[in-house]
């Protein structure tokens, strides 16, 4: 057993080139015995950022007498020597060391990698979260020596888990990683050596056979209307829901919605329903949906925007409804193919082997997860960003794969195939908006046939459709696909050559080698052509900004008819002309090679079959790149928005395409084709009218129903409109007023606030200004820009007694913190879209008065969503403070206020806000 060094550092920031180390901790251990420890504070030669002091507890005073980094490194180097270094996200810690020439050749072990494999479904992989999950006591988080001890203990716990892995899985993980350096490789090697080889070889069944569906499907009979009175009776005070569900409250709005949905189904009508917060709209539409499906043998599809709502429907609302009504209504979740693991692709990567640490980590994670009974559905896994890219190459995202072919290839064991079987027999199928539109795009080949649809969170339908039908590609991504293909000496092409040499007679082998050689030449031409094309595009952007540096928000340029007349555009066309021919040749050659491989050796799991799968993946990627770029440069569609974007930090250029309008798609494939469509949300109206959403979704003929919230906002909510704050156009004065006002307000209310921003930059400026004074008042600041996950930020905020959460766009929705923990909501600026955004600009141009008819209604809908974060139950009480005087000074301001429920509204100076909030909250 070897000695290992558990290692951790604290720094002034995340960049090893710009930031400094302020503390180092190291623990040498062997097994469960600590042999020695070493630690030191380091003087960075500069003042600490306030948030670092808040995070670590380390102050400038503590570092004043500490040594400089150069004084302690020789002692640290002697302590660690050549021993393996263990850390949590150890590459971060080593990047600061290796910049100074230390520990470049020490083996690196990472508890993050190890936990990612051994705990594939863990919610978080942060050090504190893992310590909690593994019952490891934490001394002081974010102090180097204490974190090193915590890392050591987590490692020991995880190594014990590694020893429990079935030996065939442990053996395969070891074999797959033997040619790669990754953070858990040595650890699994040690575990395998300690377990020893099995006496008998056996193969684990990773993909389970499908279970028999509850029913064979639906056989529609003559339609019988459902009884609206019976529907209403279920919700009445003496009804089934009240008798069976604890805490159930009778809400007239819920009854009205349920009967309206029933009437829409009965009469084959379309309906728009706005149901305010607290209505209970999911149960309101589930009751008539299930009754209709059961009575008429007609499946109903429910589409949502978020996974949280899907989980609520499947795991809470449907079981509650079955209990209350003594029924066995069956609901199934069906997600896009990209959410399911493809056995063929997975086995192909197992056969071909991983090419980088991310692929190795994901392979090991999936092997263990499946061996432990994992379903093959992505939601069961925690897949960080790098791992998501690998998952996308292993998922069932293959439109060419029919259910029949899937059943043939995998014996029905494909997770997507099993999900489709369950959906086929369910009364209600729960999907998301992206899948709803994917079904449209593929000619209704994704979702089982249906005629009755409910769209919840319908205010997101346009943006979800836009995202689902958009295209984005960078030079890096083009070259990555080409690099996967390789040449006759490496990559997939090399593997085909090796296979041909093993299995084909000389004459056939020579033909294959000729095709591979020609394709490899085209790959080189494409790689060079991609470099030239993206360089020409960068030149064009640089000329558009007259050689000035890229701004903090990057640069975007729409490709309009006027763009095509620029002098630089001709060079772009020439570069694409030179790139497109070899690209098309490769795509055609790959299709032929894949066909040849499948006919050569069609046995599932054999090298030829796995290579054919990999070939088709690459061909599909290249074909999409060709089609999109051909349209963008030579054959633009007037109903598509095209633009070029250059990031500010990485200077990475990307090409984009998105639909101009989604309304025509919704009209043609939903309003016209489905018998009844119900669209609902808490926010569908602006100014009390459905006109805006009708225009966006082409919902001209739908009936409408607007239901207020059952909450008494006039009693529960104070809406404070600040009358003397500078307007946002006066940037420095406005920002200073925001900082001072928020600090005083949140001190007065002991935190307990959510502050909503419209830009990350302003959020960061404000966080830096208010963090220290609030910390002195005992109020913890959680800010979205700090890199923590949304879930982690919300959990931290919920569990803190006196805290404030600063968030941008994603926090305007989906935040549900009932009770006094969230008593103050501050909206810093009205949430207008950036008018220069290519999609916003293009869509605004379709209106006679873009600002009034498009920008204002969009902002009102988002404003209403933000307002809805505060009052979540009848017992809640709170203050909404608007730090944007345009509500009072601009003609459109009244429309924002009038769109809200009737609150107690007060106008007053910024200085009076803290006291007004205290009085309202009875503090």
DSSP H helices in 698-759: 713-716, 731-748
CA–CA dist 454, 907 (Å, integer): 40
**What helix, strand, coil percent values describe the chain, rounded to 5?**
50, 15, 35
**Burial level of 509, CB count in 10 A (0-12/13-18/19+)?**
middle
Q: What are phi and psi of 228, to 5 degrees?
A: -65, -35
The CA distance from 613 to 156, in Å, is 40
DSSP code, position 368? H
Q: For residue 342, how far is the Cα from the chain centroid?
A: 21
Hey, what's the torsion of the CAs at 567, 568, 571, 575, to 10 degrees?
Answer: -150
Sign of the CA dihedral 693, 696, 697, 702? positive
Between the alpha carbon of residue 815 and those of residues 321, 708, 755, the distances in Å are: 25, 20, 12
Collapsed DSSP state (helix, strand, coil) of residue 177? coil
Contact by Cβ (8 Å): 883, 721: no
Question: What's the DSSP call for residue 748?
Answer: H
Q: What letter does residue 573 receive in the DSSP assignment?
A: H
User: What is the rounded CA–CA span in Å between residue 295 and residue 291?
Assistant: 6
Token code pair at residue 395: 């998922």
For the sheet containing 640-646, what is the strand order?
471-474, 653-659, 640-646, 555-558
Strand 21-30 versus strand 640-646 pairing type? unpaired
- Identify whether the C-beta of residue 125 lies closer than 8 Å to the C-beta of residue 112: yes
Q: Can you list the alpha helix ranges (DSSP code H) found in 550-701? A: 567-600, 607-633, 663-666, 691-697
Answer whether 429's CB lies under 8 Å from 330's CB. no
Active site residue 672: no
Dihedral (CA of 568, 571, 576, 577) sign: positive
Cα–Cα distance measured from residue 423 to residue 443, given in angstroms and rounded to the nearest whole number:
18
Can you tell me whether residue 716 is helix, strand or coil?
helix
Taking alpha carbons only, the member of 628, 623, 650, 651 closest to residue 641 is 628
Measure the CA–CA gap between 846 and 842, rounded to whole angstroms: 7
Residue 23: alpha-carbon gap to chain centroid: 34
List all residues 6 or more positions away from 68 whose beta carbon is below 8 Å from its beta carbon.
42, 43, 45
Residues 213, 252: contact at Cβ < 8 Å?
no
From 142, 250, 669, 780, the catalytic residue: 142
Instruction: Tell me which H or E stretch contains 717.
Output: strand 717-722
**Would you please indicate which residues are annotated as catalytic (active-site) residues?**
142
């Amino acid at each position: 057993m070897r000695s290992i060094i558990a290692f951790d550092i604290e720094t002034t920031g995340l960049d090893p080139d710009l930031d400094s180390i302020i503390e180092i901790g190291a623990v040498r251990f062997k097994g469960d015995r600590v042999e020695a420890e070493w630690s030191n504070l380091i003087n960075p030669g500069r003042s600490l950022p306030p948030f670092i002091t808040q995070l670590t507890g380390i102050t400038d005073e503590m570092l004043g007498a500490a040594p400089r980094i150069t004084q302690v490194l020789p002692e640290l180097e002697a302590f660690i020597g050549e021993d393996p270094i263990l850390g949590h996200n150890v590459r971060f810690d080593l990047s600061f060391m290796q910049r100074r020439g230390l520990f470049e050749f020490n083996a690196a072990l990472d508890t993050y990698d190890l936990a990612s494999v051994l705990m594939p479904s863990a919610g978080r992989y942060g050090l504190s979260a893992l310590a909690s999950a593994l019952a490891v006591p934490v001394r002081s988080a974010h102090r180097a020596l204490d974190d090193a001890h915590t890392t050591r203990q987590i490692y020991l716990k995880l190594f014990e888990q590694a020893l429990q892995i079935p030996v065939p899985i442990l053996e395969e993980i070891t074999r797959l990683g033997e040619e790669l350096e990754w953070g858990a490789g040595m650890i699994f090697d040690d575990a395998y050596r300690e377990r020893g080889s099995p006496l008998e070889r056996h193969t684990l069944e990773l993909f389970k056979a499908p279970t028999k569906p509850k029913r064979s499907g639906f056989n529609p009979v003559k339609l019988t209307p459902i009884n609206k009175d019976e529907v209403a009776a279920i919700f009445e005070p003496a009804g089934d829901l009240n008798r069976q569900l604890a805490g159930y409250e009778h809400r007239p709005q819920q009854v009205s919605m349920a009967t309206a949905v029933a009437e829409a189904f009965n009469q084959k009508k379309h309906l728009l329903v706005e149901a305010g917060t607290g209505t209970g709209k999911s149960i309101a539409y589930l009751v008539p949906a299930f009754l209709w499906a059961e009575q008429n043998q007609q499946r109903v599809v429910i589409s949502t925007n978020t996974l949280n709502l899907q989980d609520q429907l499947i795991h809470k609302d449907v079981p509650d409804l079955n209990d209350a009504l003594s029924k066995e209504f069956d609901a199934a979740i069906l997600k896009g193919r990209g959410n399911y693991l493809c056995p063929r692709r997975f086995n192909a990567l197992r056969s071909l082997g991983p090419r980088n640490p991310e692929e190795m980590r994901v392979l090991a994670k999936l092997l263990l997860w499946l061996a432990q009974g994992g379903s093959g559905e992505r939601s069961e896994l925690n897949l960080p960003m790098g791992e998501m890219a690998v998952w996308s190459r292993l998922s069932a995202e293959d439109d060419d794969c029919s259910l029949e072919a899937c059943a043939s290839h995998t014996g029905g064991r494909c997770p997507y195939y099993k999900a489709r079987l369950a959906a086929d027999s369910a009364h209600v199928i729960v999907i998301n908006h992206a899948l709803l539109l994917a079904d449209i795009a593929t000619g209704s080949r994704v979702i089982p046939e249906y005629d009755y649809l409910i769209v919840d969170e319908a205010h997101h339908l346009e943006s979800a459709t836009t995202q689902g039908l958009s295209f984005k590609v960078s030079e890096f991504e083009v070259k990555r696909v080409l690099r996967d293909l390789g040449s006759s000496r490496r990559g997939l092409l090399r593997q085909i050559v090796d296979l041909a040499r093993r299995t084909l007679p000389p004459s056939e082998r020579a033909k294959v080698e000729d095709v591979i050689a020609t394709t490899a030449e085209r790959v080189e031409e494409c790689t060079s052509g991609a470099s030239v094309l993206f360089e020409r595009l960068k030149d064009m952007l640089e000329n558009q900004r007259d050689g000035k540096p890229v701004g903090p928000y990057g640069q975007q340029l729409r490709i309009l008819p006027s763009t095509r007349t620029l002098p630089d555009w001709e060079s772009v066309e020439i570069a694409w002309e030179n790139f497109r021919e070899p690209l098309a040749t490769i795509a055609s050659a790959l299709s032929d090679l894949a066909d040849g491989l499948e006919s050569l050796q069609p046995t599932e799991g054999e090298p030829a079959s796995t290579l054919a799968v990999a070939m088709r993946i690459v061909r599909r990627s290249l074909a999409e790149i060709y089609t999109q770029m051909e349209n963008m440069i030579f054959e633009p569609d007037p109903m598509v928005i095209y633009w070029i974007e250059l990031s500010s930090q990485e200077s990475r250029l990307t090409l984009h395409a998105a639909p101009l309008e989604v309304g025509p798609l919704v009209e043609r494939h939903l309003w016209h084709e489905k018998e009844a469509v119900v669209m609902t949300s808490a926010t569908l109206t602006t100014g009390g009218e459905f006109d805006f959403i009708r225009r966006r979704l082409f919902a001209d003929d739908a009936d409408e129903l607007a239901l207020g919230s059952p909450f008494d906002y006039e009693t529960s909510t104070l809406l404070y409109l600040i009358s003397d704050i500078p307007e946002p156009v006066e940037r420095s004065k406005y920002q200073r007023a925001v900082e001072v006002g928020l600090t005083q307000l949140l001190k007065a209310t002991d935190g307990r606030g959510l502050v909503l921003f419209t830009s990350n930059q302003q959020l960061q400026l404000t966080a830096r200004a208010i963090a220290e004074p609030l910390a002195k008042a005992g109020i913890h600041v959680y800010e979205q820009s700090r890199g923590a996950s949304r879930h982690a930020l919300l959990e931290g905020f919920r569990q803190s007694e006196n805290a404030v959460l600063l968030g941008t766009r994603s926090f305007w929705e989906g935040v549900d913190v009932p009770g006094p923990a969230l008593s103050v909501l501050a909206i810093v600026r009205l949430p207008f879209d950036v008018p220069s955004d290519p999609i916003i600009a293009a869509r605004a141009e379709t209106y006679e008065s873009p600002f009034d008819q498009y920008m204002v209604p969009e902002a009102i809908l988002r404003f209403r969503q933000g307002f809805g974060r505060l009052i979540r139950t009848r017992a809640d009480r709170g203050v909404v403070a608007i730090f944007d005087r345009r509500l009072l000074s601009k003609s459109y301001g009244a429309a924002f206020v009038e769109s809200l429920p009737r609150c107690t509204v007060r106008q007053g100076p910024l200085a009076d806000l803290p006291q007004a909030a205290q009085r309202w909250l009875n503090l």
